[in-house]
Amino acid sequence: MEMSLQLNCKTVLDNRITCFGNGLFFHTISQCSQPKFKDGRRSICINASADFSRRRQRRIFIAKPKDHGFDSKGFVSRPSIRTSHQQKVKRDLSTSTQGVVQCNLVGENGSVYIVDEKDVLDTSNIGNVESSNDVDDIEDGVTRETIVGEINDDSDDIVKKEASKLLKLQLEASLRRQEIERIAQESLSLQNKLFVYPPVVEPDQDIEVFLNRSISTLCNEPNVLIKGAFNDWRWKSFTIRLNKTHILNGDWWSCQLHIPKEAYKVDFVFFNGQNVYENNDKKDFSLLVDGGMDPIGFADFLIEEKCKELERLAKEQVEKEEQEKEKRKMEALRVAQEEDMSQARMEIEKKKQVLQQLMKNAVKSMDNVWYIKPSEFEGRDLVRLYYNKRSGPLAQAQQVWIHGGHNNWIDKLTIVERLVKSDSKNGDWWHVDVVVPDQAVVLDWVFANGPPQNANVYDNNNREDFHAIVTKVIPDEKTWIWEEQRIYKKLQEKRRLREETIRAKVEKTACIKAETRKKTLERFLLSQKHIVFTEPLHVQAGSTTTVFYNPCNTNLNGKLEVWFKCSFNRWTHRNGPLPPQKMLATENGTYVKAFVKVPLDAYMMDFVFSEKEDGGIFDNNNTMDYHIPVLGGTVKEMPMHIVHIAVEMAPIAKVGGLGDVVTSLSRAVRDLNHNVDIILPKYDCLNLSNVKDFHYHKNYFWGGTEIKVWHGKVEGLSVFFLEPQNGFFHVGCVYGCGNDAERFGFFCHAALEFLHQNEFHPDIIHCHDWSSAPVAWLFKEHYKHHHLSKVGVVFTIHNLEFGAHFIGKAMTYTDKATTVSPTYSKEVSGNPAIAPHIHKFHGIINGIDPDIWDPYNDKFIPVSYTSKYVVEGKKAAKEALQKRLGLKKADLPLLGVISRLTHQKGIHLMKHAIYRTLERGGQVVLLGSAPDSCIQNDFVNLANQLHSQHHDRVRLCLMYDEPLSHLIYAGADFILVPSIFEPCGLTQLIAMRYGSVPIVRKTGGLCDTVFDVERDRDRAHAQGFEPNGFTFDEADVKGVDYALNRAIVTWYENRDWFNNLCKTIMEQDWSWNRPALDYLELYHAARKLT
The continuous run of DSSP H or E covering 190 comes out as: none
User: What confidence tens digit (pLDDT) does each residue in 54-100 have?
Assistant: 444 443 333 334 343 333 333 333 343 333 333 333 333 333 333 33
Give CA–CA dist 96/137, Å, rounded: 8
Stronger pLDDT, 106 or 560, i.e. the higher one: 560
Confidence band of 297 (pLDDT split at 50, 70, 90): confident
Q: What is the average pLDDT score of the chain?
A: 85
pLDDT in tens, 15-32: 333 333 333 233 333 333
Convert the pLDDT of each residue in 714-726 to its tens digit: 999 999 999 999 9
The pLDDT, as a whole number, for residue 630 is 96
Residue 152's pLDDT band (cuts 50, 70, 90): low
Res. 294: pLDDT tops 70: yes
> Does pLDDT of 138 surpass 60?
no
What does the pLDDT average to over 427-451? Answer: 92
φ/ψ of residue 498, rounded to 5: -65, -45
- Give me the residues paired with residue 607 across strands: 566, 626
Cβ contacts of residue 69 below 8 Å, gap of 6+? 18, 19, 98
3-state secondary structure 940-991: HHHHHHHHHHCCCCEEEECCCCHHHHHHHHHHCCEEEECCCCCCCCCHHHHH
Residue 932's pLDDT is 94
> Strand 41-47 vs strand 7-14: parallel, antiparallel, or unpaired?
antiparallel
Alpha carbon distance 742, 932 (integer Å): 27
pLDDT at residue 698, rounded to an integer = 95
Whether 1043 and 1035 have beta carbons less than 8 Å apart is answered as: no
CA angle 974, 980, 984 (to 5 degrees): 70
In terms of Cα–Cα distance, which of 933, 919, 880, 927 is closest to 900? 927
Strand ranges for 648-691 from DSSP E? 675-681
9 with 170: CB under 8 angstroms? no
The per-residue pLDDT for range 1017-1029, each reduced to its tens digit, is 999 998 889 999 9
Question: What's the burial of 737, exposed, middle or buried (CB within 10 Å: 0-12/13-18/19+)?
Answer: middle
> Which of 823, 846, 828 shows the shortest CA–CA distance to 662?
846
This prediction's pTM: 0.68
- With a cut of 60, say whether residue 257 has pLDDT above it: yes
How many H-runs (helices) and E-runs (strands) does the chain carry? 19, 50
User: Among 365-369, 522-526, 607-611, 941-945, which is the least confidently predicted range?
Assistant: 522-526
Q: Note the pLDDT tens digit of each residue in 452-462.
A: 999 999 999 99
pLDDT in the model for residue 425: 64
Contact 1023, 1070 (CB under 8 A): no
CA dihedral (284, 287, 288, 291) in degrees, to 10, reads -150
Task: List, in sequence order, every residue forming a beta bridge with 78; answer none if it has no partner.
Answer: none
Q: What mean pLDDT comes out for the span 843-853?
A: 93
pLDDT tens string 173-230? 899 899 999 999 999 899 899 999 999 999 999 999 999 999 999 999 999 999 999 9
Bridge partner residues of 609 (DSSP): 564, 619
d(C-alpha 52, C-alpha 150), whole Å: 8
**Is the confidence at residue 146, as pLDDT, over 60?**
no
Q: Would the CA dihedral through 692, 695, 701, 707 be positive or negative?
A: positive
Instruction: Count other Cβ atoms within 10 Å, centred on residue 316.
Output: 10
pLDDT at 102 over 50: no
pLDDT confidence band for 417 (50 / 70 / 90): very high
Average pLDDT over residues 346-374: 86
- SS3 (DSSP) at 217: coil
Strands (E), 35-89: 41-47, 58-59, 64-65, 75-76
Rg (CA), the chain: 48
pLDDT of 8 > 70? The answer is no
Residue 351's pLDDT band (boundaries 50, 70, 90)?
confident
Other CB atoms within 10 Å distance of the CB of residue 758: 12
* Res. 124: pLDDT tops 70: no
DSSP track, 806-859: HHHHHHHH-SEEEES-HHHHHHTTTSTTTGGGGGGEEE----B-TTTS-TTS-T
Mean pLDDT throughout 869-875? Answer: 97
Q: What is the mean pLDDT of residues 585-609?
A: 93
863 against 151, higher pLDDT: 863
Q: Are 51 and 151 in contact (CB under 8 A)?
A: no
